[in-house]
Structure 1
Amino acid sequence: MLKEMQHIAGAQTLLRGLAVIDAVATGHRDLKSISEFTATPKSTAHRLATALVEQRYLRYAANVGYDLGPRLIELGARALDTISLPALARPWLQKLADTTKDTVHLGVREGDEVLYLEKINSQRGLEMRSRPGHRMPLALTGIGKALLINDSQDDLRALFLRQSTEHYLQRFLTCMQRYSQGGYAFDLEENEPTIRCVAAPIFDARNQLIAAISVASTATYMSRDRMDALIPLVRSYAGHISAELGWAG
């Protein structure tokens, strides 16, 4: 019984210490603010913060207050080094594929192309030419356009003209403006006849756009109404993967 109580007390102390780190991470710099955020007595907050400073999880400056410490930076760097994006994303991609019954992709930007890292095949018996390791033009694919939603109009114009003709440029720029505002992108058979997709970007802990996912199928299963309905679902799953990477929204 005594050991069990000690275990519970230790777990509670750990959780309170983590709450103090969360408080500082969200901008609470002084003990009063940290105490209120964590709902702990000021003396307890001080004791925890002091221990965290000693272990380099926090740092303290008289004119600034508490801030995140170098130990967290070290751990964050190690975590990033050990993360495999396909492995991290795959459970979410599988859930999305199971929900939609369609082909699901994960891709990243490499120059003017999207590099496919992961593909889960459609449960409808449909086959597409995309595969892990395959590259396709950014400006002509849904997942590629999702990777471009933060690019400037000048950069988008230059990229598109390297991959298509001026005849379709204005339509592309107009669509990209809508996609940028909505946080999604469509492929309306620009890259492959009869193939349509809905895509959304993935962000990391620094709010950098690093990857994108897409749900793809033939036009038979991808009416415009269904594509519109899929937008929040695809964005939600992209958000889950982003959260796994430390993105706070």
Structure 2
Amino acid sequence: MRKILDTLDSKAASTHTDDQATAAPSGTQTLTRGLAVLQAVAGGARDLKEIAKLLGTTRSTTHRLASCLVQERYLRFTPNAGYVLGPKLIELGFQARDEVSLAVVARPYLEQLAEQSGDTIHLALQDDDDVLYLDKIPGKKGLEMRSRVGHRMPIATTGVGKALMLGMDEEDWKSLYQKRSSATSVDTSRRLPKRSWSEFRDQMRQYAKGGYAFDLEDNEPSIRCVAAPIYDASHAIVAAISVSSTVPYMPLKRMQSLIAVVQAAAARISSELGAAR
């Protein structure tokens, strides 16, 4: 980035006469303008006229900024397509993604949700046909749940699991539904009678439409939860969070009121992973 600033500053200083209304930009101004060019291109601007209009800069200044970003591979230019985001941003994006620890990023938001609700909070991701719990914050009501960090459960039986399934098609739903009682890692004898496939499918359709999921004692007797998916920059579902408690503390009316709360927390975590709000 220092190289980019030096290049842009030197160009601006040597050719400032074509932009007499604006003094040669300082390093901070140059950085801001360069980032604004990237944002403009990311927003769909494809030629200098469009970019200059969005930035409020002259064509020559805009050309200097864009040319330097092309040179450094942050932008790419072709006569047919115009300016598009370049390969350097892809490289940095993958590097940033690899450096992000989901559990670390999510933890502050999970703590806020725990404080707000007073209930047990889970963070989980999909691992084959199971849910794998990455984090858990016990509630304040003295309730014990068998979930724990590192624990696995069949994905179609849990609220977080159903939230993870929202981006799948109905064939995948059916496949995971059929596997829900086949897992040997959990005690299935205490589970309530499972709903029929048609009931499960209809529920999932409702959840997919609303962007949330419920666990209505599907996984553990007397335990209910409200869950929502977490997205990454590609808008793929990569994890899910949930608020869980026992039936007396989680009547349907409260579950409905918690949907927006859990979705808001999931959206904030998604934003940390690069998902657009």
**Equivalent position of 2:64 in the other structure:** 47
Match of 1:224 among 236, 252, 257: 252
In structure 2, how many angstroms separate the alpha carbons of the residues matched to 1:128 and 1:143?
14
User: Which amino acid is 1:38 matched to?
Assistant: L
SS in 2 for 1:163: coil
1:180 corresponds to 2:208: yes
In structure 1, how many angstroms separate the alpha carbons of the residues matched to 2:87 and 2:158?
41
Match of 2:243 among 208, 215, 234: 215
1:93 corresponds to 2:93: no
1:117 corresponds to 2:134: yes
Deviations 1:102-144 (A, max 9, x none): 1111100011110000111112222211111000111110000
User: Which amino acid is 1:49 matched to?
Assistant: A
Percent identical among aligned pairs is 54
Query: 1:67-146 alignment to 2 at 5 Å?
Result: 67-146=84-163
5+ residue gaps, structure 2:
1-24, 182-192
1:17 corresponds to 2:34: yes
1:64 corresponds to 2:76: no
SS in 2 for 1:18: helix
In structure 2, how many angstroms separate the alpha carbons of the residues matched to 1:101 and 1:64?
53
Residue 166 of structure 1: CA displacement? 7.7
Deviations 1:18-58 (A, max 9, x none): 11101111111101111122233322221211111111111
User: Which amino acid is 2:110 matched to?
Assistant: L
1:34 corresponds to 2:62: no
1:160 corresponds to 2:188: no
- Greater shift in the superposed pair: 76-85 or 157-166: 157-166
In structure 1, how many angstroms separate the alpha carbons of the residues matched to 2:47 and 2:259?
42
SS in 1 for 2:80: coil
In structure 2, how many angstroms separate the alpha carbons of the residues matched to 1:84 and 1:16?
31
In structure 1, how many angstroms separate the alpha carbons of the residues matched to 2:236 and 2:164?
11
In the superposition, the TM-score normalised over structure 2's length comes to 0.84
**Equivalent position of 1:5 in the other structure:** none
5+ residue gaps, structure 1:
1-7
**Equivalent position of 2:220 in the other structure:** 192
Deviations 1:206-241 (A, max 9, x none): 111111111111111111011000101111111111
In structure 1, how many angstroms separate the alpha carbons of the residues matched to 2:51 and 2:225?
46
Q: Which runs of 4+ in 1 moved over 6 A?
A: none
User: Which amino acid is 1:80 matched to?
Assistant: R
Deviations 1:42-82 (A, max 9, x none): 22221211111111111111222111111111111111111
Conservation of the 8 A alpha-carbon contact between 2:194 and 2:218: no
In structure 2, how many angstroms separate the alpha carbons of the residues matched to 1:59 and 1:167?
53
Residue 167 of structure 1: CA displacement? 5.5
Matched residues, number: 243
